[in-house]
Every structure is written in C-alpha cells, then in structure tokens.
Amino acid sequence: MNVLLTGGAGYIGSHTAVELLNRGCDIVIADDYSNSSPVAVERIRQITGRDFPAYHADVTDREAVRRIFRENKIDCVIHFAGKKAVGESVKIPLSYYRTNLDAALTVLECMKEASVSRFIFSSGSLNPIPYREDMPRGECSSPYGTTKAMIEKILEDACHADPALSAVLLRYFNPIGAHPSGLIGEDPQGIPNNLLPYIAQVAVGRREKLTVFGGDYPTPDGTCRRDYLHVMDLAAGHHRAACYTMEHPGVTAVNLGTGTPYSVLEVIEAFRKASGREVPYVIGPRRAGDLPEYWADAAKAKELFGWQAQYTLQDMCRDTWAWQSKNPQGYPKA
C-alpha cells in the first residue's frame, strides 16, 4: 500500500510515517513546512532506514497535488495538512476556513481525477465545548473546530455520492509523547499552547514554571482531566484506519484514546518521575473554554480495527523527555 501523507512532516504525520514504513507500506510526504521542519523528513529516513519521495508542496496548490498523483501510484491518502491553532483561528477565521477547506477539497478533487478512493481524515478533536442547552448540536467552540466538522460533512456527502469512496474520520484529543528514539517529536513554534510541550520546556530549562489553569474544578484533585494518548499509538491507529479503508467503502468515524483521563497534577508528577527534573508550577485561573474532564470511548476502534492503546502515561512522559532532552530547541534550522 502506497500512502500519501499530507502534512507528513508535522508531529502526528511524522510518527504515522514511521509506523507505516515499519509496517512495510510505501509513503509519499507532501508538506509546505509552514509549521514543520524538513529535518523531520530526514529523521524519519534515519529511524526507518527507508527512503521515500517528499514534496515541498502546499496542498491548496492544485497543480502541485496533481503532479504528486501523476508521479506516484497512490492507494490511500492520510490528510493532516491544515492550520491547527485554536486561539489563532478565532482571530483570523477566514484564513482558517480558506486554508483548511481548500486543502481538503483540493486533495479530494485531485484524488478523484487520479481515481484514488481511500481517505483518512486525521480530524483530531472537534473542540468540545461546555455544552449549553441553547447550542445547536455539533456546534464547535472555534473556527478551527468548525473547519474540522465541515470537512467531516464534506466527506459524508462525497461518500454518499460516490459508492467507491472510503473515508475514515479519526477523532482523538490529547496526543503526547514521541518516537522512543527521541529523534522526532512535537516542536511548537513560540510559547506552547498545550500542556506537555510546556512541561517539557520547563523541565529542560527553557521556561521558568508552568501555570496550571484552574485548581477548583469538580475533579478529584481540582485540575482538569484529559485522555492523553501516546503519539505512537495514534500512529498505529492511522495505519489500521488505512488498512480498513482498503476493504470498507463509505464513511466511518472512529475515536482513538485510552479511555482513561489523567489530571494536570498527575501528568506533572509522571513527568517529574520520567525526567528526574523538577517541574515548578503555580495554580492560576481557569482558561476560558476548558471543560473539567473528557475522554474518548474507543470501543469502536477495538471492534473495527482491533486497535487498543498500548502505552502508559509513564511511557508518554519518558518519550516526550527523550525528544525534549535530545532536542532542547526543537529541530535544528534546516
């Protein structure tokens, strides 16, 4: 199976690339490196000892995408490419709608031209919100989340119109960790929005302390609880989804998660143990939009894919630390 990974140099894309190569698949990467590094592509080759084509391409560029399908016989596309900063999407919504919808539509149209009919949308979280009774069903908390929901709807309609088309919508919440080699990992630009990159940068000395957003939630220790998932488990889930599309036309939404939420304080403690470094923190005010807790019911992934998360929270922290300690400033500038 030859899989095109759009956004394949990014955090989840690069780990999925390693998983696919290790499972004997061929891959092609397309990435514009706007929020990723070409060094990641080299590291994927280093980890797997395998070579593959990598295109420096923006997938909203129709000619660039056509060329990829012309030059490679692709069986399946895993679509990661898109903008993903929740806060930024609130400030520049038009840019998010333009980029994310354009990317998905362009790839789908070029797939049709090339008679490629298998698509995995790495949808991630649709951005759960504190649900109020007056909100319509399916409402998202940010333009970013809405682009995801819209792309899922587009895929539903496209599969309805074309019985040969097969799409899996993968939903998951908090991917963390890294390849155990520490050669690839999450490399946020600027101040990290997410918990684990922030903790890792505190532990490595790039930032002074973590602010825990809220200590008065109705949870056992007062901090929010989330379903953290090792990125290698997530990568394995993408591989299984790709295999699934080979046999099953139509559209299927599948959650990936451990089903077990951990609190912010539990994550800090696990990271302290894994790294042997202190993680100084203060409890600050709540962050707008955070829910006290949520987790994914991944029963369907087990049933359809035979997939279950294998890694523990301790593994996730160990591997995040392997990446951060070997690459304190992230990927070197290419």
In whole angstroms, what is the distance from residue 232 CA to residue 12 CA? 9
Helix/strand/coil for 250: strand
Least CB distance to ligand UDP at residue 177 (A) = 13
Select which of 55, 144, 198, 228 is catalytic. 144
Provide the minimum distance between the beta carbon of 267 and ligand UDP in the complex, in angstroms, as a whole number: 7
Task: Considering only residues 202 through 221, tell me which ones interact with ligand UDP, judged by CB under 6 A.
Answer: 210-213
Pairing state between β 262-263 and 225-226: antiparallel
Distance CA 50, CA 210 (A): 39
DSSP 8-state code for residue 252: E
Q: Does 264 bind ligand UDP (CB under 6 A)?
A: yes
SS3 263: strand
56, 209, 287, 326: which one contacts ligand UDP (CB under 6 A)?
287
Backbone phi, psi, residue 35, to 5°: -140, 35
Q: What is the DSSP letter of 135?
A: S
Residue nearer to ligand UDP on the CB measure, 8 or 124: 124
Which of the residues 91 through 110 are near ligand UDP (CB under 6 A)? none
Alpha carbon distances (Å) from 307 to 14, 207, 208, 312, 313: 20, 37, 39, 15, 18
Q: List the interface residues with ligand UDP, window 13-72 (CB under 6 A).
A: none
Tell me, yes or no, if 144 is annotated catalytic.
Answer: yes
Helix (H) or strand (E) holding 160: helix 143-161
Bridge-based pairing of strands 228-230 and 174-176 is: parallel
Nearer CB in complex with ligand UDP: 84/179: 84
In the complex, least distance from residue 173 CB atom to ligand UDP, rounded to whole angstroms: 6
Pick between residue 89 and residue 174 the one whose CB is nearest to ligand UDP: 174
Q: Which of 184, 308, 213, 313 is nearest to 261 (CA)?
A: 313
Q: How many positions of this chain bind ligand UDP (CB under 6 A)? A: 14
* Sequence-distant (≥ 6) Cβ neighbours of residue 98 within 8 angstroms: none
The residue (of 228 and 305) whose beta carbon lies closer to ligand UDP is 228
Comparing CB distances to ligand UDP, the nearer of 254 and 264 is 264
Binding residues for ligand UDP restricted to 171-200, rule: CB under 6 A: 174, 193-195, 198
Query: Can you tell me which of 61, 75, 266, 290 binds ligand UDP, judged by CB under 6 A?
Result: 290
Options 43, 226, 238, 318; binder of ligand UDP; rule CB under 6 A: 226
**How many beta carbons lie within 10 A of that of residue 334, not counting itself?**
10
**Do 76 and 119 contact (CB within 8 A), yes or no?**
yes
Smallest separation (angstroms) from ligand UDP to the CB of 195: 4
Beta carbon nearer to ligand UDP, 129 or 243: 129
Site membership for ligand UDP, residue 295 (CB under 6 A):
no
Q: How far is CA 101 from the centre of its chain?
A: 17
CB of 224 to ligand UDP, least distance (A): 3
User: CB of 204: closest distance to ligand UDP in angstroms?
Assistant: 15
Torsional sign, CA 198, 94, 159, 253: positive
Query: Which residues contribute to the site for ligand UDP (CB under 6 A)?
Result: 174, 193-195, 198, 210-213, 224, 226, 264, 287, 290
Catalytic residue numbers read 144
